[in-house]
Amino acid sequence: MSSEASRDGLEAPGEKDVSDRSSDRDGASSNGAVLSARALTRSFSSGAGRLDILKGIDIDVRRGDIVAIQGASGAGKSTLLHILGTLDRPTSGQVFIGETNAFELPDDGLAEFRNRTVGFVFQAHHLLPEFSALENVMMPLLVGRCPWDAARERAEGLLGEVGLAKRLGHKPVELSGGEQQRVAVARALVGRPQVVLADEPSGNLDRGNGQALLDLMWDMSRRYRQAFVLVTHDEDIGRRSDRIYRLEDGLLNALAAPESG
Ligand SMILES: Nc1ncnc2c1ncn2[C@@H]1O[C@H](COP(=O)(O)OP(=O)(O)OP(=O)(O)O)[C@@H](O)[C@H]1O
Ligand SMILES: [Mg+2]
């Protein structure tokens, strides 16, 4: 991991913190989790009254874990992922990333902390339309003050790994839906965040590209001990995950562990 990091002149976010800690803690909180939620609830008020979407979610994800979350449309999967990624605040409850109680940070501190620790693949890709694929992937590194050449090198490498070496200069409108999705995955992975949250990452992809994307995520998880939480209906992801949960009636239920896991 460190030889890789020094070869491209970059240090993965959090890597230094990790090496500075005692090995038994390994960048995780005292219960060993890199991402924890406690008693999360989220309610929305709408014209028809109050909607209680999340009703008390607890989850612990350790470094290198790959966790799949399934559930019906409208069950609250994206809502949960946004809160785990600290993009939305819960109605009540807490999210810990490493030892940090995320929602206790001030807003600007939270944004900086999120950029350093969490990679997000959104259900709608949210690529920046005026920037090329390459620039979109470089962006989290540049925001984190990584030198331009090093950011470019790493972003090009990842875009190559997702099969887009020949589309570096294309803007999002000049890419297919599946290509945009692959750019979004590269963008989420480029800073090697401790936690990667992905909402249907292989949803728009054919089987070959879907498999390649999963291979990349599993490889990253092994190489950098990144934790992945994947919202998915994809049975391949479920089979290959360490744990599967089903979100139902506002609660997260653990399903039987996959045989291969
Ligand atoms: N800002 C909001 N205001 C009111 N209701 C909302 C809001 N955001 C989400 N909801 C409602 O919360 C429920 C859960 O939405 P969410 O997007 O989390 O579902 P999901 O499980 O991701 O579904 P899908 O599989 O279709 O993506 C939906 O019924 C949605 O209408
Ligand atoms: Mg959703």
Q: pLDDT at position 24, please?
A: 37
Structure confidence at residue 27 (pLDDT):
59
CA 73–ligand 1 middle distance (angstroms):
8
Which tokens hold the place of 173? 């409108």
pLDDT at 200: 87
- Pocket probe for ligand 1: among 41, 43, 53, the residue whose CB has the most ligand atoms within 8 Å is 53
In order of start, what are the domains of the chain with their CATH numbers? 2-254 (3.40.50.300)
Residues having CB within 6 Å of any atom of ligand 1: 44, 46, 51, 53, 71, 73-79, 123
Pocket test for ligand 1, best of 45, 51, 246 (most atoms within 8 A of CB): 51
| Alpha carbons 111 and 106: distance in angstroms, whole number | 9
Q: For residues 117 and 35, give the distance between their C-alpha atoms in angstroms, rounded to a whole number.
A: 10
* Ligand 2 ion: residues within 5 Å (CB): 78, 123
Q: Which residues of 174-192 are buried (b: 16+ CB within 10 A; e: fewer)?
A: ebeebbbbbbbbbbbbbbb
Q: Digits of tens for pLDDT over the chain (261 positions)?
A: 333 433 344 444 434 333 333 333 445 666 779 999 999 999 999 888 999 999 999 999 999 999 999 999 999 999 999 999 999 999 999 999 999 999 999 999 999 999 999 999 887 778 999 999 999 999 999 998 999 999 999 999 999 998 999 999 999 999 988 889 889 999 999 999 999 999 988 877 888 888 888 888 898 899 889 999 999 888 878 888 999 999 999 999 998 765 544
Joined tokens for residue 21: 């800690």
pTM of the predicted model as reported, rounded to 2 decimal places = 0.85
Strand partners, 199: 231
Within 13 Å of residue 62, how many CA atoms lie on the same side as its CB? 9
- Which amino acid belongs to residue 171? K
Q: How far is the CA of 81 from the centre of ligand 2 (A)?
A: 9
For the chain, the C-alpha Rg in angstroms (whole number) is 18
Q: Is the separation of the CB atoms in 10 and 32 below 8 Å?
A: no
Neighbouring C-beta atoms of residue 236, cutoff 10 Å: 13
**pLDDT value for 233:** 84
pLDDT at residue 15, rounded to an integer:
40
User: How far is it, in rounded angstroms, from Cα 103 to Cα 163?
Assistant: 37
pLDDT at residue 165, as a whole number: 96
- Tell me what pLDDT residue 28 has: 65
In total, the chain counts a number of residues equal to: 261
The 3 state secondary structure assigned to 120-132 is EECCCCCCCCCCC
CA distance 161 to 56: 38
Report the pLDDT value the prediction gives residue 16, as an integer from 0 to 100.
Answer: 38
Paired strand residues for 62: 33
Q: What is the pLDDT of residue 82?
A: 95
Residue 64 gets the label, from left (phi > 0), alpha (psi -120 to 50) or beta, of: left
Q: Smallest Cα–Cα separation from 127: which of 184, 81, 190, 165?
A: 184
Q: Which among 154, 161, 244, 192 is positioned nearest to 63, based on CA atoms?
A: 192
> Sign (positive/negative) of CA torsion 163, 167, 172, 178?
negative
E-assigned strands of the chain? Answer: 33-46, 49-62, 66-70, 92-97, 100-101, 118-121, 195-199, 227-231, 243-248, 251-254
The C-alpha torsion from 259 through 227 and 150 to 14, rounded to 10°, is -150
- Atom 27 of ligand 1 has which residue's CA nearest to it? 73
